[in-house]
Amino acid sequence: MKYKLKYALLLPFLFSVKANAQETKAELNKEIKRQEKISYILDFPQNAKGNVPLIVFLHGSGERGNNLEIVKAHSPFTYKNLIKEPVAILAPQCPENMWWDTVTVYNLIKEIQSKYKVDASRIYLTGLSMGGWGTLKLAMEHPEMFAAVVPVCAPTDRVMYANIHQYKNLNMKIFHGGMDDVVLPENAFNFYQALHPVNPSAELTIFSNDNHNSWDSTYSNPKLYEWMLSKRKEK
């Protein structure tokens, strides 16, 4: 009986707390400044006439840090001789132990546009592994910026699936290794299945004998650059 009595005595107190609660609906409207710092390599053709196309490359987790030279590994930099027209290549470097901050990458691209003669209708985005994830994330956030998007062995996440309609007007080629045991090929299969209903022109290529190094088969193919550079963003 004592326990029942204590419980009964507590009830009015609990109800009084609830009765005295106040629901507030409001809006925070405050300018928040953020500092952005990111290192990058920009290969820009010096003798090009007029505005030039720009390929943005996002590296994988193994190239993070402060050694800029390593960001060129496994990238379009390696196969520049396969590209048949003057093109700029931009490769930022992700800090150690971080994943891609796509807000900073977007602002970097805008900064490069303001300083160099870049064809705004011919900006292309590609990346491998962690950079493939960054490619999909940035394309989801700013589909209006890119004429073509090429993720390679990319992990995917639920936010991308929830916003799959953001990719509907993008020219996309997705590449993955069928033997990939780092980022499983199911990432590419499942994402493509979700993408196809909203973007039927998107393509998926699985290199059946490739492990996680499907970037070699992807970037060594001159037809990739021909396809990429044939695409323009409609104004």
List domains and CATH numbers for the chain: 38-229 (3.40.50.1820)
Q: Which residue has the tokens 């204590």?
A: 6
Contacts of 209 (CB under 8 A, 6+ apart): 177, 178, 179
pLDDT of 10-69, one tens digit each? 444 444 445 566 665 566 666 556 677 899 999 999 888 899 999 999 999 999 999 999
Write down the pLDDT at residue 17.
47
pLDDT of 139-198, one tens digit each? 999 999 999 999 999 999 999 999 999 999 999 999 999 999 999 999 999 999 999 999
Q: What is the C-alpha separation between 78 and 136, in angstroms, rounded? A: 22
Helix (H, G, I), strand (E, B) or coil at 22: coil
Q: What is the C-alpha separation between 170 and 143, in angstroms, rounded? A: 7
Q: Which pLDDT band holds residue 92 (cuts at 50, 70, 90)?
A: very high
Write down the pLDDT at residue 49.
86
> ∠168-201-208 over CA atoms, to 5°?
115
Residue predicted with more confidence, 111 or 2: 111
- pTM here is 0.85
- Contacts made by residues 192-198, CB under 8 angstroms, sequence distance 24+: 194/161, 194/164, 195/164, 195/167, 198/164, 198/165, 198/167, 198/168
